[in-house]
Chains A and B, each alone.
Chain A
Amino acid sequence: MNDVIVENLSKYFGKPPLTALDNISFEVGKGELFGLIGPDGAGKTTLFRILTTLLLPNSGKAIVNGSDIVKDYKAIRKKVGYMPGKFSLYQDLSVEENLHFFATIFDTTIAANYKLIEDIYKHIEPFKKRRAGALSGGMKQKLALCCALIHRPEVLFLDEPTTGVDSVSRKEFWEMLKRLKQEGITILVSTPYMDEANLCERIALIQDGEIMSIDTPQNITATYPYSLFAIKSTNMSQLLTDLRQYDPINSVFSFGEYHHISFKDEKNDTDTTLAYLQNLGHTALECHPISANIEDCFIHQMSTK
């Protein structure tokens, strides 16, 4: 049986009601690393709060680790680990005191599950006497993960664990998650960083409270309906403007060093396009076909919704 089953879940806030989650359904298998990819305000936090029994849905149902989130909320609270988006440890307690406190309120000891957190904890152990408030962002995040894991949860919910964290620490964090997955823990992680999608086994792209698509990252990128090209010139800003005004172009978006473009018809006439751009004075033009990434897909699904 799947570890997380969500059926037609909806949640509204306020008056007049604003839809935070609109009829969401998905399942996450036991031991799966599942990513919820979407910008702020997409409904990721609301969904996690409902699944961790912190909020009640307006309609629909959800089962987490075999227990109903409304009726059996007490059972769920024993079995899930939750790391909220905001740094949620006691800043005035030391690393050690925080860990000890969370171990006790989850009715366990640090020793009992030390093996599970050892890999992560050893990074912060040298600073165990330091107050949590004085740790750097990356360290805080590791401590928070340790605290969320200390009772060896069946299902782990990580709400934007990498937001505001630099790219190096982010990579480290994902490596830790991979190791946890090997321990058989089901992990649901939300992130606004599209490039992290590839690190998950399956992902849901979420926007405005709706799941736009749900599949493995490979399958999602494979279903991108257009041929995609990367293009660059010496004046990228002008290139963007010119491509937007060029009729055969279906879409153009900047992606770092390149702009990604797709064409309205199947011919994908790059040669004519390059000639057109050259006429406009662009130099050092370069264009080659690429395969779509998750961000391309996200943009495509957002604009066709």
Chain B
Amino acid sequence: MKQFYSFVRKEFYHVFRDNKTLLMLFGLPITQIVLFGFALSNEIKNSNIVICDYANDQASHEIIDRIAVSRNFDIKKMILSEDEIEATFKEGDVKLVLVFPNNLNQTLIHSKTAQIQIIADATDPNTASTLTAYIQAILNSYQADMGGANKPAVQIIPEIRMLYNPELKGATNFVPGVMALVLFLICVLMTSVSIVKEKETGTMEILLVSPMNPLTIIIAKATPYFVLSLINLTVILLMSIFLLDMPLNGSLALLYLVSSIFILCALAAGLLISNSTDSQQAAMLISLMGMLLPIMLFTGFLFPLENMPMPLQIFANIVPSKWYYIIVKSIMIKGLGIMPILKETLILTGMTLFLLLVSLKKFKIRLA
């Protein structure tokens, strides 16, 4: 145990005495998050909106009035038919079209529920989703006022159509993706480089000749990076929640538990890489080139997996970050518990165990 403790402390010395390592460890996630943060704007003002009012009754007028006074929207024009929508969007400066159905007021009075259509230009998904949310807020406030003390509540169900980007990949979707990317890359990189470095400087020879159990060496080597990755995760989470307004609807403990499994998975992958190479550069190259592209492509946060050819979709299943991404979204955004994500969690755990076993088995107790 003393050996283990001493080893872990040594690893921390290495980390804290090397500015490059520190920069990679903490600078990378922070810049990533900030970069994605800049891609978002918090509030969108004076967006051009076009309204197609088939109803032209009391209800539609009240809602239009509320939109008109909102600082988020400028009503650019009213159109008479849905046929004009396409042309309107092509003018370029219109972000949203609202379509009120015939007899809105009547429908609301009789059946207490009605549908209106929101069509958004989703080429900029963040803007589209934000604007849709504004409209929904306006609709909600209208409903609440309509409801009142003794009248039964009415419900307007918006039918939202996202033009050009039906997936609506937005900030809330990016952050879990960035988390998966940054955590995995840094863990793989750190672990593989730190082990290969010992090979390169020749210290691995002395470690192997020492009575220390090779298994202890590996665990001691991985422990600091596990701890640092958890700290990293905390930094990323804090930034996503307070800087990027990510929701955290589910259990924090569950999130940490699943992230720990994911981090272990990355550590095992790093270990595996370190076994098959003898130079730090090679380890870095394999970690970056070998991991970055699959994670970017197959996690699903940049490119929708559903649109990929079948073989690629199947391949995506062996990319651990795909599963982690689903889990994080479920916990943070949907606020789900363990049961609905049990399948994904089990798959991730299985992958981790497999990688750990292979890397431990392949770890060389001798040179060459």
Give the B-binding residues of A (Cβ under 8 A): 49, 52-56, 73-74, 77-78, 80, 82, 84-93, 97, 100-102, 104-107, 131, 147-148
| Known A53-B366, A74-B211, A107-B3: A93·B10 in contact at CB below 8 Å | yes
Q: Which A residues lie within 8 Å of B2 (CB)? A: 104, 107
Determine the residue in chain B with the shortest Cβ distance to A148.
B206
Q: How far is the CA of A100 from the CA of B5 in the complex (A)?
A: 12
The reply to whether B211 and A93 form a contact with Cβ atoms under 8 Å apart is: no
Q: Which B residues lie within 8 Å of A100 (CB)? A: 6
Q: How far is the CA of A102 from the CA of B211 in the complex (A)?
A: 11
The reply to whether B366 and A106 form a contact with Cβ atoms under 8 Å apart is: no
The reply to whether A54 and B14 form a contact with Cβ atoms under 8 Å apart is: no
Q: How far is the CA of A84 from the CA of B367 in the complex (A)?
A: 13
CB A69 to nearest CB in B, in angstroms, measures: 10
CB A28 to nearest CB in B, in angstroms, measures: 18
B205 interface residue per 8 A CB criterion? yes
Q: How far is the CA of A97 from the CA of B7 in the complex (A)?
A: 11
The reply to whether B209 and A92 form a contact with Cβ atoms under 8 Å apart is: no
Q: How far is the CA of A125 from the CA of B368 in the complex (A)?
A: 36
B106 interface residue per 8 A CB criterion? no
The reply to whether A90 and B205 form a contact with Cβ atoms under 8 Å apart is: no
Q: How far is the CA of A77 from the CA of B211 in the complex (A)?
A: 5
Q: Which A residues lie within 8 Å of B7 (CB)? A: 101, 104-105
B201 interface residue per 8 A CB criterion? yes
Q: Which A residues lie within 8 Å of B209 (CB)? A: 52-54, 77, 80, 82
Q: Which A residues lie within 8 Å of B31 (CB)? A: none
Looking at the complex, which one of A55, A105, A131 makes contact with B207 (CB distance below 8 Å)? A105
The reply to whether A77 and B13 form a contact with Cβ atoms under 8 Å apart is: no
Determine the residue in chain A with the shortest Cβ distance to B6.
A104
The reply to whether B207 and A84 form a contact with Cβ atoms under 8 Å apart is: no
Q: How far is the CA of A86 from the CA of B205 in the complex (A)?
A: 10
The reply to whether A55 and B6 form a contact with Cβ atoms under 8 Å apart is: no
The reply to whether A82 and B206 form a contact with Cβ atoms under 8 Å apart is: yes
Looking at the complex, which one of A73, A92, A102 makes contact with B13 (CB distance below 8 Å)? A92
Looking at the complex, which one of B206, B211, B365, B366 makes contact with A88 (CB distance below 8 Å)? B206
Q: Which of B347-368 contact A (CB under 8 A)?
A: 365-368
B58 interface residue per 8 A CB criterion? no
The reply to whether B3 and A88 form a contact with Cβ atoms under 8 Å apart is: no
| Known A97-B10, A97-B13, A104-B3: A90·B211 in contact at CB below 8 Å | no
CB B199 to nearest CB in A, in angstroms, measures: 11
Q: How many contacting A-B pairs (Cβ < 8 A)?
A: 83
Q: How far is the CA of A74 from the CA of B210 in the complex (A)?
A: 9
Looking at the complex, which one of A49, A87, A104, A147 makes contact with B367 (CB distance below 8 Å)? A49
B203 interface residue per 8 A CB criterion? yes
B208 interface residue per 8 A CB criterion? yes
CB A130 to nearest CB in B, in angstroms, measures: 13
Q: How far is the CA of A148 from the CA of B5 in the complex (A)?
A: 20
The reply to whether B205 and A54 form a contact with Cβ atoms under 8 Å apart is: yes
Q: How far is the CA of A104 from the CA of B212 in the complex (A)?
A: 9
CB A92 to nearest CB in B, in angstroms, measures: 5
Q: How far is the CA of A147 from the CA of B202 in the complex (A)?
A: 14
Determine the residue in chain A with the shortest Cβ distance to B207.
A105
Q: Which of B1-54 contact A (CB under 8 A)?
A: 2-3, 5-7, 10, 13-14, 17-18
Q: List 26 A-B contacts (CB under 8 A).
A: A52-B205, A53-B208, A53-B209, A54-B205, A54-B208, A54-B367, A77-B209, A77-B210, A80-B209, A84-B205, A84-B206, A86-B201, A86-B202, A87-B202, A88-B203, A89-B203, A90-B10, A90-B13, A90-B14, A92-B17, A93-B13, A100-B6, A101-B10, A106-B210, A107-B211, A147-B206
CB A97 to nearest CB in B, in angstroms, measures: 7
The reply to whether B6 and A88 form a contact with Cβ atoms under 8 Å apart is: no
CB A51 to nearest CB in B, in angstroms, measures: 10
Q: Which A residues lie within 8 Å of B365 (CB)? A: 73
The reply to whether A84 and B14 form a contact with Cβ atoms under 8 Å apart is: no
Determine the residue in chain A with the shortest Cβ distance to B367.
A54
Q: How far is the CA of A169 from the CA of B7 in the complex (A)?
A: 32
Apart from A105-B3, A107-B2, A148-B206, what 7 extra A-B contacts exist at CB < 8 Å? A77-B209, A85-B202, A92-B18, A93-B10, A93-B14, A104-B7, A105-B207
| Known A53-B366, A105-B3, A107-B3: A88·B202 in contact at CB below 8 Å | yes
CB A112 to nearest CB in B, in angstroms, measures: 13
| Known A55-B367, A80-B209: A105·B6 in contact at CB below 8 Å | yes
Q: Which of B181-203 contact A (CB under 8 A)?
A: 201-203
Q: How far is the CA of A55 from the CA of B208 in the complex (A)?
A: 11
Determine the residue in chain A with the shortest Cβ distance to B364.
A54
CB A120 to nearest CB in B, in angstroms, measures: 17
Determine the residue in chain A with the shortest Cβ distance to B208.
A54
Q: How far is the CA of A148 from the CA of B18 in the complex (A)?
A: 26
Q: How far is the CA of A85 from the CA of B10 in the complex (A)?
A: 23
Q: How far is the CA of A154 from the CA of B87 in the complex (A)?
A: 89
The reply to whether A102 and B18 form a contact with Cβ atoms under 8 Å apart is: no
Q: Which A residues lie within 8 Å of B13 (CB)? A: 90, 92-93, 97
Determine the residue in chain A with the shortest Cβ distance to B16.
A92
Q: How far is the CA of A54 from the CA of B10 in the complex (A)?
A: 23
Determine the residue in chain A with the shortest Cβ distance to B365.
A73
Contact with A along B204-244 (1 / 0, CB 8 A): 01111111100000000000000000000000000000000
